[in-house]
Amino acid sequence: MSAIDHFWAVIPAGGAGTRLWPLSRSSSPKFLHDLTGSGLSLLRETHERLAPLAGDRFLVVTGAAHREAVRAQLADLGEDAVLAEPSPRDSMAAIGLAAALLERRDPDAVMGSFAADHVIADRVGFATCVETAVGAARAGWLVTLGIEPTHPSSAFGYIHLGEDLADLPGVRGVRAFVEKPDAATARAYLAGGDHRWNAGMFVVRPGVLLDLLGRWHPEFAATLRTIAADPARLDELWPSLPKIALDHAIAEPAAEAGRVAVVPAAFDWDDIGDFDSLAGLLARGDGTDGALVLGDPGLVRAIDATGLVVPGSGRTVAVVGLEDVVVVDTPDALLVTTRARAQQVKAVVAALKDGGRADLT
Amino acid sequence: MSAIDHFWAVIPAGGAGTRLWPLSRSSSPKFLHDLTGSGLSLLRETHERLAPLAGDRFLVVTGAAHREAVRAQLADLGEDAVLAEPSPRDSMAAIGLAAALLERRDPDAVMGSFAADHVIADRVGFATCVETAVGAARAGWLVTLGIEPTHPSSAFGYIHLGEDLADLPGVRGVRAFVEKPDAATARAYLAGGDHRWNAGMFVVRPGVLLDLLGRWHPEFAATLRTIAADPARLDELWPSLPKIALDHAIAEPAAEAGRVAVVPAAFDWDDIGDFDSLAGLLARGDGTDGALVLGDPGLVRAIDATGLVVPGSGRTVAVVGLEDVVVVDTPDALLVTTRARAQQVKAVVAALKDGGRADLT
């Protein structure tokens, strides 16, 4: 596989991963961690997945607090490759800033934006879809990758597929982006076959992205281009940018306007939204659904127990007689819950903040 | 309440408390720990319960490894008050050695033997029963205290009550000591009213105890008296003593021979056999059966959780969505189980020993 000419990988590296507390903290979010047992952080895995396609053309956009950690993990990239947001302003500002910079840096650029904390094992399948998407992006489309659902998830938004696009084999139109459905609707989507998971992956020419943004949010697009022309004004202008997700700012209205295409993708994908999702991911790798261990198995003694154990402090962890339990051990905090209740972990983080222990979050 | 003349409190302080791992370790058994949240270890609580009756007449028999820890906790007692067993040889040897020493030290002695790791909140009720038992002991009986059952437990041995004893109000004969019953038998015992829990408490004149031992194990009794006469021979003779519980060596045959009396006791009692038992004990004190905390409640965040949390390492412990869970956090080991499976904790200890981690047990 060879790099794609003028293809730039943009990696928004944000999000606290609250539901993966205490592994993920605001000071050390989940993309900095090895959550798959591969030996690589999710960020480094994302880089390795994209490097064959982008070569050294990377732009990572992250919070100022994480800039050094990101640079340390991606030491091969140049200093210019890591952008620090002065403050969190959601995905449209982060990805839009990358677009504005690339628009000036490379007039022929096609950018592909992929979150730093998603897991895709099938690198060849991924690369093939990205190559197809780049072709459609060069033709002027805002292109997304639509993940084939493996189960009727209520945790993801969906993409409603449209017709095949002429002259672009393997690419279809997008009828609409739809919000996270209820369980019955999700089952209907899975049965119908016309819906894909929205993994927030976008491939597009930077100018197309900014022009689409300019159509619905003209000042937003103009400010991003002003910053790109004079990066010294970043700190001054950044706080004026709206806090809005790219999906709402561009993708949804552009789909209505018939400007969005999708490459239906069959590769596996996981955003590791919580410990239940993480356990499912490890179980697929492990071929078992017993007591899964993320870390040193020698630290775990499980007797009549299933679920996920993360021995993250060097201490021995013994689990006896619990099904689908989740035990996450770190040097300063311990979580015990179940896979079914994993979503509620964010309530712990909220309680800690309310209780004056934001230092633990 | 004033001390009872010539009454000596004997406290066998042994047993690893394996089912309370990782709180209790062979290097730091449960009697050294505060398991009730009182601020006192079980050993110190036992001492405080007995001091009004015995004054400074104490003999604590413990393993050589724990002698210094016991002395540190009971610093007010003289050096003579703590006996170190050269090796563990079960309760008959430990209590018999105390009897042999007291037989020489105080010809009018009555000894009462009470384990170091039992919990009794009602000190007045306890003292009243001991006073009654001492009266019967002076009359030559081997006297035990029979705890009124609160539920049909299969975890304890029972005492089958006999007739009231003439001239000894509040004292009855013992028909037999019976082994731990099955559930149906335990229910029948509770319904019948003629059975009491055997808490292993014995009040007796030292000479009577040794003479009874001599009747069934003459060499055992003779060796104990030899050691008492020449304590320098302890290390030499101790290994020759049989490993046998006092119940089997004396109490059972003496009951058959009509030599055992019992004071039926109505005070609460708990031997904290496992974490289920500990949670039940704390729930009674707490008036709740929610998420009980043994330690600093500020370290625990429980959301939709019931059971027992022991935050013993200074780390924050979060528990979400589990019923009757047991979480015990210590600096080098963590246990997660349920109240219903608490008995299986000893399997963890066995697995750790088998796996070369005896240092954690």
Q: Which residue of B has its CA nearest to A334?
A: B317
pLDDT of the residue at B288: 62
pLDDT of the residue at A284: 79
CA dihedral B182, B188, B190, B191 (to 10 degrees): 160
pLDDT of the residue at A189: 97
pLDDT of the residue at A203: 98
Tokens of B49: 């319960």
| Per-residue model confidence as pLDDT tens digits over B58-68 | 999 999 999 99
Shortest Cα distance, chain B CAs vs residue A320, angstroms: 5
Q: Are B113 and B201 in contact (CB under 8 A)?
A: yes
- pLDDT at position A287 over 80: no
| Per-residue model confidence as pLDDT tens digits over A302-327 | 999 999 999 999 999 999 999 999 99
Chain B positions touching A312 (Cβ under 8 A) are none
Is the CB of B334 less than 8 angstroms away from the CB of A348? no
Is the CB of B347 less than 8 angstroms away from the CB of A22? no
- pLDDT at position A288 over 80: no
Radius of gyration of chain A (CA): 21
pLDDT of the residue at A8: 98
Radius of gyration of chain B (CA): 21
Chain B positions touching A351 (Cβ under 8 A) are 301, 303
Q: Which residue of A has its CA nearest to B298?
A: A355
Across chain B, mean pLDDT equals 95
Shortest Cα distance, chain A CAs vs residue B341, angstroms: 6
pLDDT of the residue at A289: 59
In chain A, which residues touch B (CB < 8 A)? 21-22, 301, 303-304, 315-322, 325, 327, 329, 331-338, 340-341, 344-345, 347-348, 351-352, 355, 357, 360
Shortest Cα distance, chain B CAs vs residue A153, angstroms: 22
What band does A244 get if pLDDT is binned at 50, 70 and 90?
very high
DSSP letter string, B255-308 = HHTT-EEEEEE-S--B---SHHHHHHHHHHHHT--SEEESS-GGGEEEES--EE
Q: Which residue of A has its CA nearest to B323?
A: A337
- pLDDT at position A336 over 70: yes
Q: Which residue of B has its CA nearest to A319?
A: B336
Q: What is the pTM of this model?
A: 0.89
Q: Which of A21, A319, A341 lies nearest to residue B321, judging by beta carbons?
A: A341
The one-letter amino acid at B74:
L
Shortest Cα distance, chain A CAs vs residue B20, angstroms: 13
Distances (CA, A) of A111 to A34, A234, B179, B293: 26, 21, 78, 54
How many CB atoms are located within 10 Å of the residue A308 CB? 25
Shortest Cα distance, chain A CAs vs residue B17, angstroms: 17
Chain B positions touching A352 (Cβ under 8 A) are 301, 316, 318
Is the CB of A301 less than 8 angstroms away from the CB of B338? no
Residues A49-73 have a mean pLDDT of: 96
Q: Which residue of A has its CA nearest to B317?
A: A334
pLDDT of the residue at A256: 96
Q: Which of A315, A322, A340 lies nearest to residue B334, judging by beta carbons?
A: A315
Domains assigned to chain A:
7-265 (3.90.550.10), 275-360 (no CATH)
Q: Spell out the residues 6+ positions from residue B185 whose beta carbon is closer than 8 angstroms to its own.
A: none
Is the CB of B316 less than 8 angstroms away from the CB of A357? yes
Residue to mutate among B320, B337, B343, B361, with most A CBs inside 10 A, is B320
3-state secondary structure A19-48: HHCCCCECCECHHHCCCCCCCCCHHHHHHH
Chain A positions touching B320 (Cβ under 8 A) are 335-338, 341, 344-345, 347-348
| Per-residue model confidence as pLDDT tens digits over B126-154 | 999 999 999 999 999 999 999 999 999 99
Q: Are B146 and B265 in contact (CB under 8 A)?
A: yes
Is the CB of A338 less than 8 angstroms away from the CB of B321? yes
- pLDDT at position B86 over 70: yes
Chain B positions touching A320 (Cβ under 8 A) are 335-338, 341, 344-345, 347-348
| Per-residue model confidence as pLDDT tens digits over B287-309 | 665 799 999 999 999 999 999 99
Chain B positions touching A22 (Cβ under 8 A) are 318
3-state secondary structure chain A: CCCCCCEEEEEEECCCCHHHCCCCECCECHHHCCCCCCCCCHHHHHHHHHHHHHCCCEEEEEEHHHHHHHHHHCCCCCHHHEEEECCCCHHHHHHHHHHHHHHHHCCCCEEEECCCCCECCCHHHHHHHHHHHHHHHHCCCEEEEEECCCCCCCCCCEEEEEEECCCCCCCEEEEEEECCCCHHHHHHHHHHCCEEEEEEEEEECHHHHHHHHHHHCHHHHHHHHHHHHCHHHHHHHHHHCCCCCHHHHHHHHHHHCCCEEEEEECCCCECCCCHHHHHHHHHHHHCCCCEEECCCHHHEEEECCCEEEEECCCCEEEEECCCCEEEEECCCEEEEEEHHHHHHHHHHHHHHHHCCCHHHC
What band does A232 get if pLDDT is binned at 50, 70 and 90?
very high
pLDDT of the residue at B56: 95
Q: Which of B317, B340, B360 lies nearest to residue A316, judging by beta carbons?
A: B360
- pLDDT at position B96 over 80: yes
